[in-house]
Amino acid sequence: MDDIYRRQIQIFIFVLSITFLCLSYDLFAQTLTPTRLVDAPTAGSIPGKSLLMETCLFDGGGVVQTIGIGVTELLGVGVSYGGAGIVGAGKVTWQPHVAFQVRVRIIEETERNPALAIGFDSQGFGPFARGSNLNRFRTKSRGAYLVLSRNYKLFGDLGFHGGVNFSLETDDGDEDPSFWAGIDKNIGSNFDICAEYDFATNDNEDETITADRGYLNGAVKWHIGTAFMLELDVKNILRNTKKDIAGFIDERPEPSRELRFTYRRSF
């Protein structure tokens, strides 16, 4: 396990090194950084005096509703709640608590420096699993995190992102930090594609839910006018072993497909 952990740290450092080597080139772009890739946050924030409403539909009939507010250009807050089995005829399993989000961009992006933000997010992904060594979302919530983002002009907008987080969901005994890196690229004025890799180093012990491959996720986002966005996510592309909410092992499951609907307006 230690060798796997060290290998993932080395990959993470390599990815970030390649990303920020680009800082010396004249590719800097003053663009509106997205607030997240697929699940991973970026250093972007909701514009000041703006409202964001997002509905996520995940496998098993699950729904999560999020409401976010851009308090200022640098500070955003939000709340979310949901559960599994809401859509369909089965039993509904609600998550046990309302989740909260806060993000503060403490360093603005310049021609030489990436943007830096710190934040907290207690909303995980997938159904909530209960048990003596569980009490967690299928994919752990981010918890406290720090993230760097850098944007460039390259046939449109191109962004690189990386971060570290400490989840509070540690009943499984895995209290390690985790790391992620990702990229976003626009295609024309209406579409974005995003990819992220979460090393899941806080979820790779023998008794936890995932295997040792981390999470590779991708998304295609369609901007409909200035207020609406429709998004298709494909998660767990590497087919990590996972448990369902009853604790049963699903060896190398198929990647899950999820939909998100986002509405944003100023006030």
pLDDT in tens, 192-205: 999 999 998 888 76
pLDDT in tens, 169-184: 888 788 889 999 999 9
pLDDT at 90: 83
pLDDT at 135: 83
pLDDT at 239: 79
Q: Which helix (H) or strand (E) holds 180?
A: strand 178-187
Q: Please indicate, yes or no, if residue 53 is contained in any of the structural domains.
A: no
User: What is the pTM assigned to this prediction?
Assistant: 0.82
Closest CA to 231 of 210, 250, 257, 249: 257
Q: Please indicate, yes or no, if residue 72 is contained in any of the structural domains.
A: no
Tokens of 96: 């046990």
pLDDT at 155: 86
Q: Please indicate, yes or no, if residue 86 is contained in any of the structural domains.
A: no
pLDDT at 89: 83
Q: Please indicate, yes or no, if residue 201 is contained in any of the structural domains.
A: yes
Q: Please indicate, yes or no, if residue 58 is contained in any of the structural domains.
A: no
Tokens of 181: 């890196």
Q: Which residues of the chain have pLDDT under 70?
A: 1-33, 132-133, 205-212, 241-252
Q: Please indicate, yes or no, if residue 103 is contained in any of the structural domains.
A: no
Residue at token pair 């949901």 = 82
pLDDT at 119: 97
pLDDT at 170: 86
SS (H, E, C) 41-108: ECCCCCCCCEEEEEEEEECCCEEEEEEEEECCCCEEEEEEEEEECCCCCCCCEECCCCEEEEEEEEEC
pLDDT at 142: 96
146: how many CB neighbours lie within 10 A of its CB? 15
Q: Please indicate, yes or no, if residue 84 is contained in any of the structural domains.
A: no
Computed over every residue of the chain, the mean pLDDT equals 84
Tell me how many domains the chain contains.
1
Domain that holds residue 162: 2-38+111-259
Q: Please indicate, yes or no, if residue 43 is contained in any of the structural domains.
A: no
